[in-house]
């Protein structure tokens, strides 16, 4: 088992080689921007360099961006200050995360999977709040995403994890999907907390 400090160093090294400005927000968020009201509190969970946080802040939200990597959060904080964006960062180990109840109008999670965090996420959404979630599913194709199946959704699993809430949109492209609009081996959902 990787110790917490080793894990943090690994992620810090990864993000030190990347730039905030070269990242784009999640497909699920960009393509469902019409659902955003443009006001309230938002959370970018496991934010990395914060492309989703930046997108939400530019769309009028007060954003909290949390991640395990100090390097990523430092870069995001600097960028947000330079651009006068309402983004606050917090370094948190999500394996023992408490987000608070009824705090957020919008939560975005992209390319991060921690199954036991779903109840925490839904409890953190305000009534009527929206979850935008996108991550890897099925088999690893062409080295895209994690090879370990524990970090990839099974077919239909995302629907099960979001059961009991209103599904506004769901898409899951299999590894056999072809065409320019195909997102091989990914699943995504927009959910409204009832």
Q: For residue range 80-137, what is the model confidence (pLDDT) as tens digits?
A: 999 999 999 999 888 776 788 899 999 999 999 999 999 999 999 999 999 999 998 8
Sheet with 186-192, edge to edge strand ranges: 87-91, 62-67, 41-45, 104-110, 125-136, 186-192, 166-173
Burial annotation 154-167 (CB, 10 A radius, 16+ → b, else e): eeeebeebbeebee
pLDDT tops 50 at residue 1: no
Taking each helix axis from N to C terminus, what angle separates 70-82 and 51-58, rounded to the nearest 10 degrees?
30
Please count the structural domains in the chain. 1
Average pLDDT, integer, range 31-37:
96
Q: CATH code at 46? A: 3.40.50.150
Query: What is the span of the domain harbouring residue 97?
Result: 4-13+22-192
Percent of the chain scoring above 70 in pLDDT = 79
């Amino acid at each position: 088992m990787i110790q917490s400090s080793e894990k943090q160093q690994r992620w810090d090294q990864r993000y030190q080689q990347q730039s905030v400005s070269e990242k784009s927000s999640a497909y699920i968020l960009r393509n469902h921007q019409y659902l955003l009201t443009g006001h309230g509190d938002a959370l970018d969970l496991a934010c990395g360099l914060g492309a989703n946080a930046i997108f939400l802040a530019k769309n009028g939200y007060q954003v909290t961006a949390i991640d395990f990597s100090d390097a990523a959060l430092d870069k995001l904080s600097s960028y947000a200050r330079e651009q006068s964006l309402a983004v606050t960062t917090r370094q948190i180990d999500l394996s023992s995360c408490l987000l608070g109840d009824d705090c957020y109008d919008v939560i975005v999670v992209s390319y991060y999977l921690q199954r036991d965090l779903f109840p925490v996420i839904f409890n953190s959404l305000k009534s009527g709040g929206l979850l935008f979630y996108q991550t890897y599913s099925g088999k690893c194709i062409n080295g895209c995403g994690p090879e370990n199946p524990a970090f990839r959704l099974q077919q239909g699993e995302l629907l099960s994890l979001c059961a009991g809430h209103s599904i506004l949109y769901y898409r899951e492209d299999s590894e056999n999907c072809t065409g320019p609009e195909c997102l091989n081996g990914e699943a995504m959902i927009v959910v409204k907390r009832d």
